[in-house]
Amino acid sequence: MAEVALITGGARGIGRAVALDLARLGWCVAICYRTSASDAEQVVEAAREAGSDAFAAQHDVSDPTAAKQFVDEVRERWGHVDALVNGAGPFHRVDILDETPEGWRDMFANNLDSVFYMSHAVATGMIERGSGRIISFSMANADQLVAQTGLTAHYIAKAGVLVLTRTLAKSLAPHGITVNAISPGFIDSGNMSDGELASVAKRIPAGYVGSVEDAVGVVRFLLSADARYVTGANIHLSGGWGI
């Protein structure tokens, strides 16, 4: 029986790259999206061309009911979930003094609440099977708790992801489930111009911006048998930025 991965934010960027990599490795892949229907369908088509059974569903997993519904859809189709990759993590830049209540709540809902709701939804089935992998994305300097006047809510939510990761790791370890975080720095996921990439590279000790393939490699390791004893970890993926 093929392994099953559920990926939030799988229509674009790192989530997309992870979904397609797992599809090529023979995993069944389910992705969810909020607004990127066309991108999601392209991912599903590419995954199927790679020989994977794949589908996409539109869900706002910052809503606990929607998160559970998505997990239920996956279980109805394939019977179980082997891995959850919490890849969704939108952000906006706004000075803390100009932040709105709506913007503040949105950052927590989509970067932290969604991770809890999705992890909670898959945990029951993973506990019953005695195995599972959960991977979430934070950011490279979130463990330092530094001031972030332009990304405040997003940053606090990402720091929360690290605490949640360690807590879930401790809670789920007795059931054969690992829970880990990946903390990217600057990754070329198609959202920056060549000029922006060149400017950012000057701030990175390694001297270059990472690629989505770098993230894929870390995810692949954490899902592998080689990482069976790795849980509660926070892997920096930043070329030295933010440490």
What CATH number corresponds to the domain at position 195? Answer: 3.40.50.720
Q: Which residue positions in the chain have pLDDT lower than 50?
A: none
Residue 1 has a pLDDT of 75
Q: Does 131 reside within a domain? A: yes
Range of the structural domain that residue 34 is part of: 4-237
Number of domains in the chain: 1
Q: Does 28 reside within a domain? A: yes
Residue 145 has a pLDDT of 96
Q: Which residues are catalytic?
A: 155
Q: Does 242 reside within a domain? A: no
pTM higher than 0.85: yes
Q: Does 243 reside within a domain? A: no
Q: Does 93 reside within a domain? A: yes
Torsion angle defined by CA atoms of residues 115, 120, 124 and 125, in that order, rounded to the nearest 10 degrees: -30
